[in-house]
Amino acid sequence: MESDSDTPEPRPDGHAAREALSALDADRQVLADRIRTPAWYHPLLALLTALLIGSPGAGMPGQSVLVVFGSLGIVFLSLAYQRITGLTVTRMPGPRTLVAAVLLCVTVVLLLGVSFTLAATGHRAWVWLTAAGAFAAMWIGGRLCDRLFDRELRRGR
């Protein structure tokens, strides 16, 4: 008993392969254009991050209010980005973007630790410096991550 799978499938010729690769490249370009971050996104994200990082300096109950507003703001900002682009980013397109995003996250977590330490040791007046650092890191680092994301997405890694 012979099966149909014994017959070899026809191999695409070079022209068909080039057309398929060109179509994939065009799709990557369209996706990169569609997923572009709006100009207002990073300043707002930086502000919300600064609220969270600076919250230990407010003491209680001000700290709780800042954490709630900062967290809800980030959620609504993410939802707005998803609504505008129609996409959700769940994966980095390449290693450089991933490294930059991890470094940005580590920076923000370290600044939060410094902020809590300053507040716990009675130096609440200095917490604003960590919030300002988080603002700058998120705005500049976020834009850098965006550029790397765009570059790696357009190149296909």
- Residue 157, pLDDT score: 61
Structure tokens at 102: 């991890």
pLDDT in tens, 40-60: 999 999 999 999 999 998 887
Using alpha carbons, list the distances in angstroms from residue 98 to 82, 134, 155: 20, 19, 15
**Tens of pLDDT along 55-89?**
998 887 888 899 999 999 999 999 998 888 877 77
What is the model's pTM? 0.76
Radius of gyration of the chain (CA): 23
Contact 146, 84 (CB under 8 A): no
Give pLDDT, residue 93.
81
Instruction: Write out the two tokens for 122.
Output: 């009675």
User: What residues does each domain of the chain span?
Assistant: 42-155
Q: Give kind and range of the element (H or E) at residue 29.
A: helix 14-34
